[in-house]
């Protein structure tokens, strides 16, 4: 028993030393805590501070959201007939979008395409809390930039068969019901991207993804087609 206890203590010490070494290699304890607070190694803060320093671009189209928005080259995809600002940040969520709305609204955009919420679901945020903040976002945009047309977009489906993912399409559909209702309550356009990208089983089609959640080029072409339905008057 004594030998087992000593072995256990030694093993725990080795594990602690190994963990401390890994934290050190990754940037130290302060950086580890910063990552826990900020997510994605501080990507939100990096991107937000960059956006704050960029010049105003009145009358542009703003694509606002998380990694689904951030990973697309929107200006090239939508063409030179419109001016597009990409305001997607990987890992963002409704509180993050709320916290950077002032930067978006300073441009007095012609249109804002909003897609956000899946990361909230992944980290266990309740639907009621997501909806509450989502409505605050909508209200602030309408109040502070009344000439901006706001287009709400459904959260995209995922495919957990491609790789293990938190959350579920059932939760995403439940969130999309609430987003669609918000659009109805404020008489806003609503793009049902979810339905356009599912397979027969209701998952994100493998034609549109390589990792089960993010879109490939073919997926973005589907998204482009839906966007063009509300942008024809700008071309």
Domain housing 48: 25-54
Sheet with 84-88, edge to edge strand ranges: 84-88, 61-65, 111-115, 149-153, 190-191
Least confident of 46-50, 192-196, 204-208, 227-231: 227-231
For residue 18, pLDDT over 70 is answered with: no
Whether 200 and 117 map to the same domain: the answer is: yes
Whether 30 and 145 map to the same domain: the answer is: no
Whether 215 and 178 map to the same domain: the answer is: yes
Whether 162 and 111 map to the same domain: the answer is: yes
pTM of the predicted structure, to 2 decimals = 0.82
For residue 98, pLDDT over 80 is answered with: yes
Whether 136 and 196 map to the same domain: the answer is: yes
What three-state secondary structure class fits 58? coil
For residue 145, pLDDT over 80 is answered with: yes
CATH number of the domain bearing residue 153: 3.40.50.1110
For residue 163, pLDDT over 90 is answered with: no
pLDDT at 60: 96
Cβ neighbors of 96 (< 8 A, separation 6 or more) are 44, 89
């Amino acid at each position: 028993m004594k030998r087992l206890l000593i072995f256990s203590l030694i093993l725990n010490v080795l594990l602690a030393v190994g963990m401390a070494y890994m934290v050190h290699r990754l940037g130290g304890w302060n950086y580890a805590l910063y990552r826990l607070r900020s997510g994605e190694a501080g990507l939100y803060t990096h991107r937000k501070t960059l956006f704050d320093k960029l010049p105003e671009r009145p009358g542009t189209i703003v694509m606002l959201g998380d990694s689904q928005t951030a990973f697309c080259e929107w200006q090239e995809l939508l063409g030179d007939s419109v001016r597009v600002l990409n305001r997607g940040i990987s890992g963002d969520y409704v509180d993050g979008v709320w916290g950077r709305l002032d930067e978006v609204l300073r441009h007095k955009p012609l249109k804002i395409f909003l897609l956000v919420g899946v990361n909230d679901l992944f980290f266990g945020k309740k639907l009621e809390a997501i909806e509450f903040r989502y409505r605050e976002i909508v209200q602030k945009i309408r109040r502070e930039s009344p000439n901006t047309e706001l287009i709400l977009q459904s959260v995209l489906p995922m495919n957990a068969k491609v790789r293990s993912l938190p959350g579920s399409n059932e939760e995403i559909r439940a969130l999309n019901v609430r987003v669609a209702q918000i659009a109805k309550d404020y008489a806003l356009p609503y793009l049902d991207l979810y339905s356009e990208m599912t397979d027969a089983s209701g998952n994100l089609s493998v034609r549109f993804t390589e990792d089960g959640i993010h879109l490939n080029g073919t997926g973005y072409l589907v998204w482009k087609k839906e966007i063009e339905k509300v942008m024809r008057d700008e071309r």
